Copies of this chain bind each other. A is one copy, B any other.
Amino acid sequence: MITKQTAYEPFTTDSVVDYLKQRELINPESPVVCEEIGDGNLNYVFRVTATDSNRSLIVKQALPYAKVVGESWPLTLDRARIESESLLQAAKVVPELVPAVYENNPVLASTVMEDLSSHTVLRKGLIEGKRYPELAKHIGTYLAYTLFYSSDFGLEPAAKKELATRFVNPDLCNITEDLVFTDPFFDHETNDFPEALRPDVEEIWADDNLKLEAAKLKQLFLTKGEALIHGDLHTGSVFVTEGSTKVIDPEFAFLGPIGFDVGAFIANLILNYLSQEARLTDTSERNEFQDYLLAVIKETWEVFTETFSGLWKQDGKGAFITVPGYLDYVLSQILQETVGFAGCKIIRRTIGLSHVEDIDGIENSEARINVQRAALQVGRKLILKRESQEKIEDVIALVRGAGNE
């Protein structure tokens, strides 16, 4: 009887059904279908559907190691608590933009939550050239609310410190510290790129300027406890329909720099933008879709900054909130850090461990390598030129320009 267990054990498609029925999260009398649908690297994801009522649930269970690597890479189960608590934290301010959490079991490192089968993974949708009219508004809102209300701008200092202690997340932070901020800039065994790209990669490894800027960005990630960030906000962590957007998988959450979340989202849109060079062969169709992606970046930033500014004026904490120029300073810092973090993310997804389907799925290898090459160029420019980015249009011009060089 798994419910009586006091120790962790991985679920099977059978035991997870028993568990849900015993907890009466699913009607014990119902016939059910259960499938393991996880395509991530670190967890099991079961979908359990009662076929009579068609009620379905997701059970996400952390594995004590990284699934992609195997048991040689142990990972704390505490990340399941962090993920569910982070979802609950987000639900306080943007309940419509995250899946509902029904139960968290710290022993089993499992979370029972809303099934989002009606939604598509955003990455998949974008690869297929789909457009989501509400996406930018939703993500901009998600970013503004979750980040503002977990920062010192929206929280009293003591509450912020209490939040920080609940989201200390060394194992998952370590993945980012290594795979995003370190390994791609050095000849490290975790890197993963085709031989044809080696000259470009070696240029990165030899570029002391770039490495200095990467070091600064890594230091920010290590030391800047600005807000409770999602920590892994790529387009695989966003589920969408035409009118609904849900942010999932915040297991990397911790008190970090705001720009890391904004940058992760933008980076993945840029990766898709670059991949379309090889995906959409019709020029005008390609141009239009790429324009759409850049418009999403622009609108996401605008909604984020307008909403964040509104919250600042309405709910800002502390005597300095009304000092002229302070909000502008904060937003300009966030933009520059967003740009730098986006650059690191793009480089990592191109030559580090764990790529994106947007690019890896390009069948023609020459075309794929051209896209990877362009990605390295864009990533590099974003890192090196981040401090001269004054507005989102600068970033968009940089992306547009880099693709054409």
Partner of A224, one of B223, B319, B325: B223
Could you tell me if B168 and A164 are in contact, using CB atoms closer than 8 angstroms?
Answer: yes
Nearest residue in B to A227 (C-beta to C-beta)?
B223
Q: So how many copies of this chain end up in the complex?
A: 2
- What is the interface residue range for chain A against chain B? 35 or more
Could you tell me if B222 and A326 are in contact, using CB atoms closer than 8 angstroms?
Answer: no
Hey, which chain B residues are within 8 Å of A216, CB to CB? 326, 329
Hey, which chain B residues are within 8 Å of A161, CB to CB? 168, 170, 173
Q: Flag whether A320 is at the interface (Cβ < 8 A).
A: yes
Partner of A152, one of B160, B170, B222, B326: B222
Interface residues of A in 309-335 (CB under 8 A from B): 318-320, 323-326, 329-330
Hey, which chain B residues are within 8 Å of A320, CB to CB? 182, 185, 211, 214-215, 218
Could you tell me if B158 and A170 are in contact, using CB atoms closer than 8 angstroms?
Answer: yes
Given contacts A185-B319, A214-B320, A219-B330, 18 further A-B contacts (CB under 8 A): A152-B223, A157-B174, A157-B177, A158-B170, A158-B174, A161-B170, A162-B170, A164-B168, A165-B168, A185-B320, A186-B319, A208-B325, A212-B325, A212-B326, A216-B326, A223-B225, A223-B226, A224-B225
Q: Which 6 A-B pairs have the closest CB atoms?
A: A215-B320, A158-B170, A161-B170, A211-B323, A152-B222, A212-B325
> What are 25 A-B residue pairs whose CB atoms fall within 8 Å in the complex?
A152-B219, A152-B222, A152-B223, A157-B173, A157-B177, A158-B170, A158-B171, A161-B168, A161-B170, A162-B170, A164-B168, A182-B318, A182-B320, A186-B319, A211-B323, A212-B323, A212-B325, A212-B329, A214-B320, A215-B320, A215-B326, A218-B320, A219-B330, A223-B225, A223-B226
